[in-house]
Amino acid sequence: MLRKTILISILLSFTAFAIAQDIDNIFKDRSEVYFTFDVNTDTDLQSLSRAISIDNVTPEMQVFAYANKKGFSEFMKRGISYTILQHPGTLHHPRMLDVAGVKNIDSWDFYPTYDAYVDMMYQFEADFPELCDVFSIGTTNEGRELLVARITDNVSQSE
What is the pLDDT at residue 102? 63
pLDDT band at 17 (very low <50, low <70, confident <90, very high): very low
Q: What is the pLDDT of residues 22-55, one digit of tens each?
A: 788 888 878 899 999 999 887 788 889 999 999 9
Q: Domains in the chain, please, with CATH?
A: 2-90 (3.30.70.250), 96-151 (no CATH)
Q: What is the pLDDT of residues 78-125, one digit of tens each?
A: 999 999 998 887 766 666 666 666 666 666 777 788 888 898 899 889
State whether residue 53 is helix, strand or coil. strand
What is the pLDDT at residue 40? 87
118 C-beta neighbours (distance < 10 Å), count: 16
What is the pLDDT at residue 25? 85
Q: State the angle between helix axes of 2-26 and 69-76 in degrees (0 to 180), rounded to the nearest 10.
A: 140
